[in-house]
Every structure is written in structure tokens, then in C-alpha cells.
Structure 1
Amino acid sequence: MKTLNIRTQKKDEIKDITDTVEEYVQQSKNDSGMCILFVSHTTCAITTADLDPGTDLDFLNALRAIQPDLNYRHPHDPEHAPDHILSSLIGPSLVIPYTNRRLLLGIWQRIVLVELDGPRQRTVQISCL
């Protein structure tokens, strides 16, 4: 297992981690298998996305647009309750198959960390099975 430490710079941000994950898969002892990623936080998430210019901002804007304007009851900080909800909708984990030590991503797919409460130091666990 490998731990990635990722520093985000903005409140809302998309960080492309595909190249780092691919490097880990290339060092795997198995030619084929599943690459499992898990982000151990409740205000960021992990998914795949198309990263043509501007699509990261489109994705973040769409997330904020679906966020309801409610009176949140989060006891610690109601201001970031929506961040918890949005990160849960996206999810904390991702499983990607690989063969010949190459991720089987679509041509435009990139693996991204979705920061919703930055800037922060984030941790992603990677394992190949």
C-alpha cells in the first residue's frame, strides 16, 4: 500500500493524480488486477473526470449549483456541512482495473481528487490487488 499526500491550494479544487497512480501500478507485483484508492477525509472525494481546459471549474460549479440552501445543523461548523454532503455524493473511494501494469481508463478519463474544503493536506491510500 502507498500513501499519497496531496496539498490543495483552494477552497474548491480538482487535483489530477492519474500520473502518480499509474507510477504505483507500474511498480505492482501483479501484471493485472484492481487498483483501489481511498481518501480518508469527509470534505473531499475521489472520482474520474475529463480534464479538458475549464472542465474542472465546470464540475465544481455544477456541484455548488446542486447544493441546497438549507439551515445546516452541523455542530462543529455549519458553514462546511455542504462540503460533507457533496463529498459523500461523489464518494471516498475508486476501483480501477489494470492490465499489463496499465490502468484501463477511458481515453479522456483522469483520476481526480475533489477538494471541497481547502486548502488542506489530503491523504489518499492506494493499493493494488
Structure 2
Amino acid sequence: MTTVSDAGIDVISRQVMPPGSRLMLTARLKVTTNGPESTVDLTGQLHRLVSEADVTEGTVHVYCGHTTCGLLVNELDAGLETDTGQALERLLPHSGRHPYRHDKDRTPEERALHGERDNGHAHLRAVIATHPELHVPVTKGALYLGQWQAIMLAEHDGPRTRELLVRVNDDLSHPA
């Protein structure tokens, strides 16, 4: 598994909402992954979006609309990435070494639509090791993360270009 800093992340759209709205900012991120299994650190880009939204207390919602990658919060550490990759390989071996029904039972039409790449392992790894969406608190104008925590996209079927939806909400703009 390889780590990519936020250099592979582009903001493809951004809209700052008018004052008084609970939704303060919405953005779409294009994330380019560089290997079959890789992790992209989203934390820096999300910090920048929170700062731009000028939210003191609120939440960041990140949504990943893909089925062979997903989001996670954990320590961004090369050793941990290696350990995770090895554990996932033991639990869910690559499709080339295991006959997943997802891969083997495809019709010619499904293969034409989805491509020839066998990726049953990537779907299952995304199911057990990641989430399609995350909600992260914002407090005192910053993401509320533990000392070692980072927000990451984990790719299990790359290299690919992925799109994420990010929304920054303000908990103080509307009284309870």
C-alpha cells in the first residue's frame, strides 16, 4: 500500500453559502490514486475547506460514491498501512488468487460495461475496512481529530480518479 499526500486532490467545484444558512460550504474533490492499493490523506484539504467556510462549531460531511474504495479515520503511518494491507490480503486475497463470484459469474455484457478487471476483493475490502461517508466534528474552527488521527481515502482498485462530496455545516447559524 502506498500513501499519497493531499497533492493528488483537486477542488473541482466549490460553493460558499450565504450567511444564515446551516450549510456553509459544499465542494467536490477529485482524488487521484496512484496504485492498486493506496491511501490518500484528505485532512489538509478538509482543514482548508473548514477554514474557508468560516465555521466555528459544526460538522464536515464527506461522501464517497464509489464501491471499491472508501473513507476512514486512523493514524497515517506507513507501518500501519503495511499491516492493514497484509491483514486484508490474508482475509480477502486478491481476485487473481481467489474465485470471487462477483468476478467469475459476470456475463459478457457486464464485463463490457464494467471492464475486464476482476475486483471482487476490492468490493469486499471496501465493505469491511472503510465507510462510504464520514461526519467529523468542527470545534473552535478546526476539525476535531485526535492527536494521531487523519481522514483518508483508502483505494482498493486503483489507480483511479475518484470524486468526493464535502459539506461543511454550521451548528451555530440556526438556534436549536
TM-score, normalised by the number of residues in structure 2: 0.67
- Letter of the 2:144 partner, please give it: L
Tell me how far apart the structure 2 counterparts of residues 52 and 117 of structure 1 sit (CA, whole Å). Answer: 21
Q: Which runs of 5+ in 2 are unaligned?
A: 1-25, 170-176
- The DSSP-based 3-state class of the residue aligned with 1:26 is helix
Of 79-88 and 57-66, deviating more is: 57-66
**Residue in structure 1 matching 2:144, options 104, 116, 124:** 104
Q: Partner of 1:38 in structure 2?
A: 63
Larger RCO of the pair (alpha carbons < 8 Å, separation 6+) = 1
Structure 2 vs 1, CA of residues 47 and 71 (structure 1 numbering), >3 Å: closer, same or farther?
A: closer
Q: Partner of 2:172 in structure 1?
A: none
**Residue in structure 1 matching 2:127, options 88, 92, 102:** 88
Tell me how far apart the structure 1 counterparts of residues 102 and 132 of structure 2 sit (CA, whole Å). Answer: 22
Question: Is 2:81 aligned against 1:52?
Answer: no
- The DSSP-based 3-state class of the residue aligned with 1:87 is helix
Give, in angstroms, the shift of residue 29 of structure 1.
Answer: 3.9
**Residue in structure 2 matching 1:28, options 41, 53, 57:** 53
**Residue in structure 2 matching 1:123, options 163, 167, 170:** 163
List per-residue Cα deviations over 1:30-71 (Å, max 9, x = no partner).
311111101111110001121233222222222222116444
Q: Which runs of 5+ in 1 are unaligned?
A: none
Tell me how far apart the structure 1 counterparts of residues 61 and 88 of structure 2 sit (CA, whole Å). Answer: 24
Q: Which has the larger radius of gyration?
A: 2
TM-score, normalised by the number of residues in structure 1: 0.90
Tell me how far apart the structure 1 counterparts of residues 155 and 121 of structure 2 sit (CA, whole Å). Answer: 12
CA contact (8 A) 1:72 1:78 kept: no
Q: How many residues align?
A: 129
- Letter of the 1:94 partner, please give it: L
- The DSSP-based 3-state class of the residue aligned with 2:44 is helix
Once superposed, what is the RMSD of the aligned Cα atoms?
1.7
